Amino acid sequence: MTETVPTEPPTPPTSTSPSASASTSQSTHADGRVELGPGAFPADSPFANEDLRPVPVAERRWTTYNFAALWISMAHCIPSWTLASGLVALGMDWKQAVLTIALANVIVLLPMLATGHAGPKYGIPFPVLARASFGLRGANVPALIRAAVACGWFGIQTWIGGSGIFALGSKLTGGEWEEAGRIGGHPWPLWLCFLLFWALQIAIIYRGMDFLRRFENWAAPVVIVGAFALLIWIAVKADGFGALLDQPSKLGWGADFWPVFFPSLMGMIGFWATLSLNIPDFTRFGASQKAQTWGQSLGLPTTMTLFAVLAVLVTSGSEAVYGEPIWDPVALAARTDNAFGLLFALFIVLIATISVNIAANVVSPAYDLSNLAPKFINFRTGALITGVIGILIFPWKLISTPEFYIFTWLGVVGGLLGTVAGILIADYWIVRRTVLHLADLYTPGGRYWYTNGWNWRAVLAFVIGGVLAVGGSYSTVDAEGEKLGPFPVDGIIPFLKPLADYGWAVGVASSLVLYVALMAPLQRAERAERAERAERAERAERTAGTV
């Protein structure tokens, strides 16, 4: 079948009320937001269901505060608290660690805003946006990759949250839980906490996205209060802060620093690279472009940087009090003998972990899996599948060491997702100039059908970009020469090893350039076809005028 790319629709007139374009069956509001006309949604299509349907403009209600609160809630979690610890363990001082985290989050904000633009404008989730570039069937490739990553993150966060509940609960019970019988090397109450925490999160997401919005609104300030309460407590107990703030860098700022800095920067970018893809899952509910732009800009880089500083200050205080730096906030809170303090810490751990885990790691795979089989998997079923996979990936092994966590898990994931992000940005901003035809995103044989639902150009750009981004992945060795990680020391593909430390950036840049280049002939052919149609119409009009 002949492949096509969308042609730019006739521009509807701008007014205070929607004005419909008959050729596209969609209307554009004065603020630029687009929605389908009455009866235009192809509900009977095998690629459509109610969860994937464009959100009507009247239901796009998320404000700047909603988006900022979303990011505050997601950033204030135990893994982001311990990011600085991983960098300090690699030899950085606290200033270098905070700088790395701050720079990474400013960088990752840019693709976040770029892909998030389609949400408020068209009301579509990430897997539907991916159909424009990959095709209606091909979109399952990036969607399933994103879903797999989210399932892994969901498992990690659920294990961390369950472990936090176990640690604080064990303290409340006088350590009895620690002495309980063991299953798989861990006390059985730990497994119980893990499973109960898992069930609580699934129950919340079953309430839907509007409930999640309300939950994030009040969770954000609660978690901030909890973080500052921990800071005040340790500052009073330590009568100041400890020596960690004065600890010099083991790397300096010279030749030893940069080989650690760049892979660490890519790892920190990889921490939120997942959301830079599926942020339309949230921005589709945005009341305006301004709301999502300002909300994300105010919420992400500022909060992550603040949280890193709080983590360093609190950990430095713990070193002054206990003689060793305690990076895990749960382990630190467990040092108190005050029952109220333990219960307060338990409450904060629950809220912080639930708020990030549901928003970041359940919403996306629920939509992604629904996109795989819209008539059989809805949002709630996708959420349940996510939960099951999150248990089966053995999350307790993924975060076993800083080297594995930062370089292997975050680095490789960031590289692959950067490749997808490059294609989405290239397609939406360069190829289509932000113009989409909503009905065709759900219709076989439409503009985004390409060849049997697949755009081989996007797939090829993804494969080549992915190989360049992660093909050189390698493992380091410790002082005894033991390999740290699953990859060969010389890299999977040795000549690509120099690129491995820049995986996310390589993925974004290479796939973006490749996709634009591969789509250029198709765009030229489409322009020539439009010109030919226009010329035929003009000739027909002249002929009719002479008769």
Report which of 304, 402, 299, 251 is spatially closest to residue 104, judged by C-alpha positions. Answer: 304
Question: Model confidence at 443, in pLDDT bands (50, 70, 90)?
Answer: very high
Mean pLDDT for the stretch of residues 83-92: 76
Q: pLDDT of 400-433, one tens digit each?
A: 554 555 556 656 776 788 899 999 999 999 999 9
pLDDT of residue 439: 93
Ranking 138-152, 240-254, 279-293, 432-446 by mean pLDDT, the lowest is 240-254
Higher pLDDT, residue 250 or 61: 61
Q: pLDDT of 89-121, one tens digit each?
A: 777 778 888 888 899 999 989 999 999 999 999
Is residue 72's pLDDT more than 90? no
pLDDT of residue 179: 76
Mean pLDDT for the stretch of residues 364-370: 87
Between CA 489 and CA 469 the distance in angstroms is 17
- Would you state the structure tokens that stand for residue 409, as one six-digit string? 């898990």
Mean pLDDT for the stretch of residues 65-80: 82
The residues, ordered by sequence, that sit 6+ positions from 246 with a Cβ below 8 Å of its Cβ are none
pLDDT of residue 245: 66
Global pTM? 0.82
DSSP assignment of 232-292 equals HHHHHHHTS--GGGGPPPSSTTSTTTHHHHHHHHHHHHHHHHHHHHHTHHHHTTBS-HHHH
Residues found in the chain:
547
Instruction: State CA 268 to chain mean position distance.
Output: 12
Across 13-27, 348-362, 506-520, which has the greatest mean pLDDT? 506-520
pLDDT of residue 268: 81
Torsion of CA 384, 386, 392, 395, to 10 degrees: -130
Between CA 41 and CA 59 the distance in angstroms is 16
Dihedrals φ, ψ of 384, to 5°?
A: -65, -40
- Ordered by where they begin, the domains of the chain are 49-531 (1.10.4160.10)
